[in-house]
């Protein structure tokens, strides 16, 4: 019973983080039609920035806010400097077919991932370093018994919940949110309605950059920080997005929690070594049983 | 006034518009008719900036608009309602209409709601259904919604692409009537593309007949309507 509760709690907390990673992928997919494999490289980069600030004497919270802002900035820069020119119909005309052209930005995102990891290695040296948590990582004790739930878990779930509520309100209630949804759903009609789709695209990169940076900040305290730390998180987040539906933000969150539970239960009841295998099995199953994802729409493009 | 001169638009090696010249007079309805594949839709798409012409000029109120983006062209007062009841099905009726006025919300704040109310007055059925998703509307209602979305941008020129497509005759009549009233009462300039030549020529002041990317006739609508030989040769009835 105690193992079960422990697995459940840990699954919720991890799932919340993977929900963020998946949400970041979905926002860029909807806003720009690109699966961004560089996403956790961007998150790694901004976590290093936070780490540098904190080791040089800034408070955790200064590092936290700066990491989110730099995540948003890095996302916007990548879109403006790399993705926008690569998506330009006229400039990529040489490539011929539509599917070739669609693949180019995705390949570019892989290149960006490699470049960011190399750059981080050069700047911060490739060895691992720790990253602080803003709250205790030991379990609460109730009547002398250690509980499987930590103050950090509470912080994780709380901050993810706030992020999800804020993004939902932004997309549903604000003019800019409506402009972004319209662009994601039908770019041509959005343009004809006067929406500056270049800007909404960049904004989706910024939001995705900030939310995945938050995921980076929440993931690294339980591992260590190195240029490759977050690679697995990208795979898990991508699987979560596929499970939930690559074009559905709610599906991404659901997928994140499903993956969190799978990983946690495999860790507690089997062995942590099997986690990677379990993720691949889930990915395969999802692609075979329901390729559009649990909440994905019918005519979504497949990758 | 909109003036199109010697416009050429290609898709790869296919020439969709082959030197088209025409104009749309202020506060009048000009209709462009022709068979499938004549280049009617391409003409509107080139005017609104969705396609780029390889030659020719488009002048709107004395200013060239070739090379401008659709987002900027709509800000100059040209609203395009593309073919096929172009609304966003996953958004509500309200959101679809709001979408068309997003770019005006700062500069013309007080007028945004007025424009939306006017659209609902023109098509009261949309008001009843304003919370519904656009995908649940009938074809006619979707066309009304697409037109409303364009109208709340307060256009001076409305580009309408086959509003009658797939609709029952009664609904077509209602929609065409609304556009006609709008033109006559508010001075809106309309460029109406139609396959349904009879209906279009019935309300239009001026008619242009396109065939295989070229203008074959450019005359007052009544004259064009009366010309049985042209009709037989290019429209097949």
> Hey, where are the domains in chain B?
2-234
Q: Of all residues in chain A, what percent carry a pLDDT higher than 90?
A: 62
Q: Of all residues in chain B, what percent carry a pLDDT higher than 90?
A: 82
Across the interface, which of B74, B87, B95 has its CB nearest the CB of A178? B95
Q: Supply the pLDDT for residue A303.
A: 41
- On chain B, the residues whose CB falls within 8 A of the CB of A181 are 90-91, 95
| Residue A140 pLDDT > 80 | no
Work out the average pLDDT over B155-173. 93
- Domain range holding A6? 2-128+203-289
Cα distance from B46 to chain A (closest Cα, Å)? 12
**How many A/B residue pairs have CB atoms within 8 Å?**
68
Of A88, A176, A192, A195, which to mutate for an interface test with B (greatest number of B Cβ within 10 Å)?
Answer: A192
Strands, sheet with B157-161, edge to edge from the N-terminal-most edge strand: B78-81, B157-161, B189-194, B29-33, B206-211, B214-220
| Residue A21 pLDDT > 70 | yes
Question: pLDDT band at B172, cuts 50/70/90?
Answer: very high
Question: pLDDT band at A302, cuts 50/70/90?
Answer: very low
| Residue B119 pLDDT > 50 | yes
Question: pLDDT band at B190, cuts 50/70/90?
Answer: very high
Cα distance from B72 to chain A (closest Cα, Å)? 7
Please tell me the CATH code under which domain B2-234 is placed: 3.40.50.300
Work out the average pLDDT over B140-160. 95
Across the interface, which of A178, A186, A192 has its CB nearest the CB of B102? A178
Work out the average pLDDT over A200-215. 96
pLDDT tens per residue across span B62-74: 999 999 999 999 9
- Domain count across chain A: 1
Question: pLDDT band at A143, cuts 50/70/90?
Answer: low
Q: Supply the pLDDT for residue A301.
A: 47
CA distance B196 to B235: 9
Residue A164 lies in a domain: no
Q: Supply the pLDDT for residue A89.
A: 67
Q: Do residues A39 and A28 make contact, with C-beta atoms less than 8 angstroms apart?
A: yes
Of A216 and A146, the structure prediction assigns the larger pLDDT to A216
Work out the average pLDDT over A251-278. 92
| A188 with B99: Cβ contact below 8 A | no
| A193 with B103: Cβ contact below 8 A | yes
Question: pLDDT band at B237, cuts 50/70/90?
Answer: low
Work out the average pLDDT over A66-88. 93
């Amino acid at each position: 019973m105690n193992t079960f509760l422990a697995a459940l709690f840990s699954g919720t907390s991890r799932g919340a983080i993977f929900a963020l990673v998946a949400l970041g992928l979905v926002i860029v997919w909807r806003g720009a039609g690109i699966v961004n494999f560089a996403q956790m490289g961007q998150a790694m980069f901004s976590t290093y920035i936070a780490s540098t600030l904190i080791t040089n004497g800034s408070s955790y919270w200064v590092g936290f806010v700066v990491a989110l802002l730099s995540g948003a900035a890095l996302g916007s820069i990548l879109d403006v400097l790399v993705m926008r020119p690569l998506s330009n119909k006229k400039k990529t005309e040489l490539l011929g077919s539509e599917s070739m052209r669609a693949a180019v930005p995705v390949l570019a995102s892989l290149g960006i991932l490699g470049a960011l990891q190399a750059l981080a290695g050069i700047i911060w040296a490739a060895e691992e370093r720790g990253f602080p948590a803003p709250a205790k990582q030991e379990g609460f004790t109730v009547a002398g018994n250690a509980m499987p739930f930590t103050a950090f878990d509470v912080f994780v779930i709380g901050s993810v919940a706030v992020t999800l509520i804020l993004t939902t309100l932004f997309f549903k209630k604000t003019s800019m949110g409506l402009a972004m949804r319209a662009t994601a759903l039908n770019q041509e009609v959005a343009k004809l309605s006067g929406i500056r789709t270049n800007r909404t695209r960049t904004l989706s990169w910024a939001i995705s950059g900030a939310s995945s940076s938050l995921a980076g900040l929440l993931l690294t305290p339980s591992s260590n920080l190195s240029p490759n730390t977050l690679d697995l998180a990208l795979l898990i987040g991508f699987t979560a997005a596929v499970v939930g539906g690559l074009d559905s933000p709610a599906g991404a969150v659901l997928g994140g929690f499903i993956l969190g539970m799978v990983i946690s239960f495999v860790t507690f009841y089997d062995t942590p070594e099997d986690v990677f295998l379990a993720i691949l099995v889930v990915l395969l199953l999802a692609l075979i049983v329901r390729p559009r994802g649990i909440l994905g729409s019918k005519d979504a493009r497949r990758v | 006034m909109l003036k199109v001169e010697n416009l050429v638009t290609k898709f790869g090696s296919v020439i969709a518009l082959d030197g088209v010249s025409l104009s749309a007079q202020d506060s009048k309805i000009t209709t462009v008719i022709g068979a499938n594949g004549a280049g009617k839709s391409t003409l509107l798409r080139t005017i609104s900036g969705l396609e780029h012409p390889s030659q020719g000029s488009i002048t709107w109120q004395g200013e060239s608009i070739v090379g401008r983006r659709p987002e900027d062209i709509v800000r100059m007062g040209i609203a395009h309602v593309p073919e096929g009841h172009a609304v966003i099905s996953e958004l509500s009726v309200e959101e679809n209409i709001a979408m068309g006025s997003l770019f005006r919300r700062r500069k013309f704040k007080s007028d945004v709601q007025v424009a939306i109310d006017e659209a609902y007055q023109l098509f009261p059925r949309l008001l009843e259904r304003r919370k519904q998703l656009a995908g649940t509307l009938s074809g006619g209602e979707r066309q009304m919604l697409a037109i409303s979305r364009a109208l709340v941008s307060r256009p001076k020129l409305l580009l309408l692409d086959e509003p009658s497509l797939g609709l029952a005759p009664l609904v077509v009549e209602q929609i065409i009537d609304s556009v006609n009233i709008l033109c006559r009462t508010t001075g809106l300039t309309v460029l109406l593309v139609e396959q349904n030549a009879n209906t279009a020529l019935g309300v239009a002041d001026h008619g242009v007949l396109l065939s295989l990317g070229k203008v074959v006739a450019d005359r007052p609508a009544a004259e064009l309507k009366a010309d049985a030989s042209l009709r037989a040769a290019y429209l097949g009835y």
